[in-house]
Amino acid sequence: MDKVLHGTRSSWGSYQSLSVPPCSTQSVGTSLRLRKDTKATLVAQGCMIMFAVLVVGACVLRSRQLHSRSDDVYFLSLGNHCCGSAAQKAVAIQMGVTAEEYKTKFVVSLGNDFNIGPLFGTRFSVMNFQDVFTSHPSLRIPWYMAVGDYYKPEGHILYANISEYLIMPAPYFTKKILLPSGGSIDIVFLHTKTLLYDQVQVQWLERSLANNTANWCITVGHHLPENQLRDLLLPLFLQYGVDAYIYGHDYVGQYSEDAGVAYIENGVGGCSQGLPKIQDQALWTRLDYDGFILHRVSTLQMEFMFMDTKGNILERIIIQGKKKARSR
């Protein structure tokens, strides 16, 4: 597998503003010479203002161009967003802003999002979910749901059949996303809570990965593959060229690698109700924020941007295409 480039950079389109000195005023009755000097000063200041407007306009245009690359697909992901807290609402607000700015196509929910009815628990209802998240127009896009800890998938599957936005056709499923340039992404959703004891799902997973012909293959689950789960999944990931695994069980944002596979976690969706678990092999980790991940995918590159509730990019992870050499 190729190596992964990771590092922190400033957000796109950040430009230094130009400060223009205020226009000076002259009292009535000044000499003709002073009046001429004042006119010259005003003309010069007017030119400076026009120049500043042109520069700022060019910067805004450049920023919008960067945020709307025609050959890229943007999407969001987050996990542990099932409590209706103030932090979760702040996450939802910034997600809405980011989704509008980057024209995101869909959201990947990494588990622990909401429950449906008393049979499945009342931790965070689907009505709360809709009020917090899909009340934002830019988030009224497909939400592909992975199974988490706090509910049974049957309720999600039933509700997804009538929902305008939520998608979970089965406890585990695949989704192909087409890229504007003609390539594609295969996203494989796992039910990691039962995977070790579900041979049918294991066989389905191997068939799905074997049939993958996309430019990128991303697997999604709620739990980190460790111990027995790692022993099961890693050989399949390596054999069939999985590029990344995205999950959201632990209450932390972190990035690690295992035998060339990128592991991307966002468990800080606004409901940090458990102890964070930091991986020994983590290359980047952060505990002191709530947020989500903005993903950018093209045929040649895949980028993961960890974002907080103020829209700051805390870390970027960039994976180059398989046919290109990757370097740090």
Q: Going by C-beta distance under 8 Å and a sequence separation of 6 or more, which residues neighbour residue 110? A: 77, 78, 79, 80, 146, 148, 220, 221, 222, 246, 247, 248, 249, 266, 267, 269
The pLDDT score that the predictor gives to residue 272 is 61
- Residue ranges per structural domain of the chain: 71-320
- Average pLDDT, integer, range 34-44: 51
| Enclosing H/E stretch for 200 | helix 199-210
Express each pLDDT in 202-226 by its tens digit.
999 999 999 999 999 999 988 787 7
The pLDDT score that the predictor gives to residue 249 is 66
Express each pLDDT in 20-33 by its tens digit.
344 443 443 444 44
> Which CATH superfamily hosts domain 71-320?
Metallo-dependent phosphatases (3.60.21.10)
- Average pLDDT, integer, range 181-185: 90
The pLDDT score that the predictor gives to residue 151 is 60
The pLDDT score that the predictor gives to residue 252 is 78
The pLDDT score that the predictor gives to residue 117 is 45
Please indicate whether residue 58 or residue 178 has the higher confidence score (pLDDT). Answer: 178
E-strand stretches of the chain: 5-7, 73-78, 106-109, 143-145, 166-167, 173-178, 184-189, 216-220, 244-247, 253-258, 261-266, 282-286, 291-297, 301-308, 313-320
The pLDDT score that the predictor gives to residue 102 is 96
* Band of residue 235 on the pLDDT scale cut at 50, 70, 90: very high
Please indicate whether residue 159 or residue 270 has the higher confidence score (pLDDT). Answer: 159
